[in-house]
Amino acid sequence: MHLTKIELQGFKTFAKKTTLSFLAPTADRCPITAVVGPNGSGKSNLADAIRWVLGEQSLKLLRGKQSEDVIFSGSEGKGRSGFAEVSLSLNNEDGSMPIDYGSVTITRRLFRDGTSEYLLNDAKVRLTDIQLLLAQANVGQRSYSVVGQGMIDHILVSTPEERKAFFDDATGVKPFQIKRHDAVLKLKRTHENLADVEMLLREIEPRLRSLKRQASRLEQRDEIETKLHTLEGQYYGTQWWSLADQLDVIKKQFEEADAQIKQERLELTAQEKTADTIENVDEKKDTGLMKLQEAYRAVQRKQNTLRQDQFQTEKEIELTRVRAQSNWAPLPLLKIVEEVGFITDGIKGLRSLKDLTEIYKMIDDLLSRSTTLRKKLERPNPEDIKPDPALVQKLADLKGQEAGIKQELAEFEAQIDAYATKEKTERTELIEMQKALREKQRQIHLFENRRNELQINLARFEERQQALIREMNEFMKDRAVAVRAERAEQTEMSLDDTYTEVQRLRYKLELIGGIDPEIIKEYEETRVRHEFLDGQVEDLKKAIRHTEKVIVELDEQIEKQSKDVFGKINKEFEHYFKILFGGGSCRLIKLTREDEEESMNDGVTPDRVFADTGEEARDKEAEIAKKLEKHQDPIIGIDIQATPPGKKLKALNLLSGGERALTSIALISAIMAVNPSPFVLLDEVDAALDESNTVRFASILQDLSKSSQFIVVTHNRATMEQADVLYGVTMTDEGISSLLSIHLEDIAGEGTARR
């Protein structure tokens, strides 16, 4: 590969379109092109143009302050240019560039509005693509391919780190270094992304665990509710239909008792009418017996009233018991836990026998509290519920009054019987009728007592049924209607055990508490996001492992190639050093990271200065830096030692300007001998050399032209004599640089020069 031509337009002093063409290489060597001209004519602008089109970004190296300084700024005779453009054409028939073009043209264009673009064979590309392509062809804007004016000893005065970049080009590992640099940057970004994703995971995980617990509890709640609904249906269904059956039986018994009483009363009425007829026929009716009968009936009416009051009171007492049982509610769970905890703590405290009296009191207290707690936890029976004392007292008073009335009735009956015994005449039929009436009334009273008991039982069961309806509506809601509407298949079950299980399930639901159904949706969304981020973490870790593997492979390639080529450069460096100096010694030394750490002092660092700010960000950066430590390049710089003949010094800063120039030329010559670049531009590198050293330099240039194409900007005659083509640069009155080309073979053969 070789340089065929350079085209400039609007670049610095080359306002007009200017083309520099280069001779093609011959079989044994590459032609040398020399650029000459007076100071200020624009020779160095050619070097700047080549450096610029190769992708140079440093305005300082381009001898400018602003990007638009490379655009022709105008003169008295010509206006300023709107853009600067430089095209570099290369012959790539040997395939040095890994691109399917026999001719490659690289163009860089910059407009005054700041817009810039890179073109590769008129197709827009990125700067990175250009740099990688050039690096693969062993060409770079900051390598030994372009040595600008005053930069011949730059490699000597530069830092070891800057020299390393130079030697990466020299050893041919620049493409690997670019790939390695991109891989390290990618690895760093991946670690940063991984840290961000892991931070998000750490933020999400507590919420996910909480949502998972709630979702699990909600699922458990659904399971418990299903079981509870089944048990409630069985429990309340059994109770409901059992009460319904009992009510049917009692209603039937009540109706039968009521019908019998009605029948007895009809018979009593008929007997009373018969007795009245007998009394009316008897004209000798005794008014004394009539009075006894009237008094007896009055007492009976009073007894009936008392019986009715007594029945209502007993009914109220029974209903009070049923309501008390229906309104019973289990003790709240927190109260149970509190009481059990108190009892447990009290039992744990019974460890000492020092004070038996206090222990006995404590035992009594614990026994009382445990008994009370047990009673509060057990559902009470109606018989165990104490009714209203006022009702009990009222019932006792009524029963006392009834006993008095019974005594009074017994006395009246005795008087009537005595009177009947005394008057055994034609009134015998009437007396017998009166006895039959009293017997019928006693029979009716017995039936009424039976009916009253049935009515009380009926009221009790109806109240229980209403209470059960309320309880079912409270706990079962709409499901209660279905349970009451259709009799389910009866199962063998213990109501007490079922009720205990129902209460236990209700307590569990109370512990779980109310959970918003939206929790499931939020849990699913959070879980999906967590799984996505977790997958991202795995992908990032996989990418890190892959990138680390690539870096290791690149390091192995770099180490292998650099070690071999670096040794050859060191050998050639000493060879050319002795040619230029006529003796002496020199060598290149690789500086490792361990060497730098040993030389570092413990002074104040920027990290320490700003240690009180951005702690979280610095911790993150420090953690990432620690992970990237093992991927740092072990070679951090290159040191140069040079000892001219007759001297003992090794430090470069002790060399004179000419000695530094010769040392730099020797180093560049060594690099070009070991790893030649397709073309090399040297801008007045021989300016500091005397005539004898210029001759040596020219002979070295001629020797190296066998493998590289040289473009030399020079003022020295010895260098010009080695050139095959001379380009003269002049400055017109308009402040524009122009070219005059001279083919030295034409001068030697014809004695003429052509523009």
The pLDDT value given to residue 606: 41
User: Which residues in 568-599 are b (16+ Cβ under 10 Å) and which e?
Assistant: ebbebbbebbebbbeebebebebbeeebeeee
> What three-state secondary structure class fits 66?
coil
Q: Which two tokens stand for residue 686?
A: 């021989």
Helix (H) and strand (E) counts for the chain? 20, 14
Interval 459-474: pLDDT, tens: 878 888 888 888 888 8
Under the banding of pLDDT at 50, 70 and 90, the label for residue 360 is low
Question: Long-range contact list for 283-291, CB < 8 A, 24+ apart?
Answer: 286/419, 286/423, 286/427, 288/419, 289/416, 289/419, 289/420, 289/423, 289/427
Does residue 356 fall inside a structural domain?
no
Average pLDDT over every residue of 660-685: 85
The pLDDT value given to residue 123: 92
Does residue 468 fall inside a structural domain?
no
For residues 459, 462, 464, 467, the Cα torsion angle rounded to the nearest 10 degrees is -120
Under the banding of pLDDT at 50, 70 and 90, the label for residue 280 is low
Does residue 128 fall inside a structural domain?
yes
Does residue 58 fall inside a structural domain?
yes
What does the DSSP 8-state code read for residue 382?
G
The pLDDT value given to residue 462: 81
User: Which residues are paired to 90 by β-bridges?
Assistant: 3, 104
Q: What is the CATH number of the domain that holds 65?
A: 3.40.50.300
Interval 135-186: pLDDT, tens: 778 776 555 678 776 666 677 777 887 777 777 777 777 778 788 888 888 8
Mean pLDDT is lowest, of 95-109, 278-292, 627-641, 711-725, for: 278-292
Average pLDDT over every residue of 262-280: 76
Does residue 348 fall inside a structural domain?
no
Q: Which is higher by pLDDT, 313 or 602? A: 313
Under the banding of pLDDT at 50, 70 and 90, the label for residue 104 is very high
Using an 8 Å Cβ cutoff, are 581 and 647 in contact? no
Average pLDDT over every residue of 241-268: 85
Does residue 544 fall inside a structural domain?
no
The pLDDT value given to residue 752: 47
Under the banding of pLDDT at 50, 70 and 90, the label for residue 563 is confident
Q: Which is higher by pLDDT, 677 or 4? A: 4
- Residue 16: pLDDT over 60: yes
Average pLDDT over every residue of 720-738: 87
Q: Which is higher by pLDDT, 704 or 356? A: 704
- Residue 4: pLDDT over 70: yes
Q: Which is higher by pLDDT, 382 or 543? A: 543
**DSSP labels, 131-149:** HHHHHHTT--TTSTTEE-T
The pLDDT value given to residue 467: 82
Q: What is the Cα–Cα distance from 642 to 659, expressed in whole angstroms? A: 9
The pLDDT value given to residue 283: 44
What does the DSSP 8-state code read for residue 327?
T
The pLDDT value given to residue 607: 44
Total of domains in the chain: 1
The pLDDT value given to residue 622: 73
- Residue 110: pLDDT over 90: yes
**Which of 155, 106, 111, 29 lies closest to 676, judged by CA?**
29
Averaged confidence pLDDT in the chain: 78
Average pLDDT over every residue of 722-744: 84
Under the banding of pLDDT at 50, 70 and 90, the label for residue 10 is very high
- Residue 712: pLDDT over 70: yes
Does residue 185 fall inside a structural domain?
no
The pLDDT value given to residue 6: 93
- Residue 84: pLDDT over 90: yes
Interval 583-593: pLDDT, tens: 888 888 888 77
> What three-state secondary structure class fits 199?
helix
Q: What percent of the chain has pLDDT over 70?
A: 77
Query: C-alpha angle with apex 314: 308 to 320, nearest 5 degrees?
Result: 135
**Which of 716, 714, 725 lies closest to 747, judged by CA?**
725
Using an 8 Å Cβ cutoff, are 663 and 156 in contact? yes
Using an 8 Å Cβ cutoff, are 704 and 676 in contact? yes
The pLDDT value given to residue 390: 77
The pLDDT value given to residue 284: 47
- Residue 565: pLDDT over 50: yes
Q: Which is higher by pLDDT, 598 or 296? A: 296
The pLDDT value given to residue 748: 56
Using an 8 Å Cβ cutoff, are 90 and 103 in contact? yes
Query: Domain range for residue 130?
Result: 1-145+684-755
- Residue 199: pLDDT over 80: yes
What does the DSSP 8-state code read for residue 64?
-
Interval 609-657: pLDDT, tens: 344 445 656 666 777 777 666 667 777 788 888 888 887 766 777 787 7
Report pTM.
0.51
Using an 8 Å Cβ cutoff, are 408 and 433 in contact? no
Does residue 463 fall inside a structural domain?
no
Q: What percent of the chain has pLDDT over 90?
A: 7
- Residue 352: pLDDT over 70: no
- Residue 86: pLDDT over 60: yes
CA distances from 162 to 182, 447, 549, 606 (A): 19, 125, 27, 22
Q: How close are the terminal C-alpha atoms of the chain, in Å?
A: 27
Q: Which is higher by pLDDT, 471 or 710? A: 710
Using an 8 Å Cβ cutoff, are 639 and 588 in contact? yes
Residues with Cβ within 8 Å of residue 300, at least 6 apart in sequence: 409, 441
**Which of 314, 307, 268 lies closest to 449, judged by CA?**
307
